[in-house]
Structure 1
Amino acid sequence: MVSAIQTVLELDRLGVPVLSVREGWLDTSGPARPLLVAIFGWVAEQERTRLIERTKAGLERARRQGKRLGRPPASQVLLHAARDLVLAGVPVAEAARRKGVSRATLQRFLHAARASA
């Protein structure tokens, strides 16, 4: 339903009249156009609000249950192997790609290693 509402709102924004064969009342070109657009906008906003609330509640429940959220931590073995490649002259992005770790994670690892040395 939300995607249909968003589509109608987007079409209205583009100036495309919307007419429904099944729902005769759905005519965004008639005198009720401002009312329909306002109602569609309100419904879409309410759906979005409910989605955000459900997402936050789910995350909070997972935290209470002690579940780990987000991406799993990178393997220290792979990070050390990627660091060795960088020390051997391989660019950071290439070393990260070869070892299957993200470039940003490898850069943070290298920065932390330099800071603690």
Structure 2
Amino acid sequence: MMIWLLIACIGLATFAVRISFVLGLGKVEVSPLVLRILRLVPIAVLTAIILPQLVLPTGSIDFSTGNPRWIAGILAALIAWWTRNVFLTIAAGMVALWLLQWLL
């Protein structure tokens, strides 16, 4: 019972933080500089989540050609840059990772 109460409280806190930005920024004029900076937040967050998974597969930095995650990540980044298609990027990255893991 206690765990469910904790989950509910954390959910309410998360909702409160998110709704505060929606309600607060809806009434405030935000400068163009802040808007430009806010557009970069998702990229920074995704990079912080994904990059360690690509270069630290065993706990130490590995930029070698024996690291299939790094190579598949480079391929996915190139496809993302070239096509701007999220689904194609994910599919190509996963297929490249599976093939590289099978080959290496």
TM-score (norm 1): 0.26
The structure with the greater share of residues assigned to helix is 2
Larger relative contact order, structure 1 or 2 (CA cutoff 8 Å, min sep 6): 2
Q: Which has the greater radius of gyration?
A: 1
Structure 2 length-normalised TM:
0.28
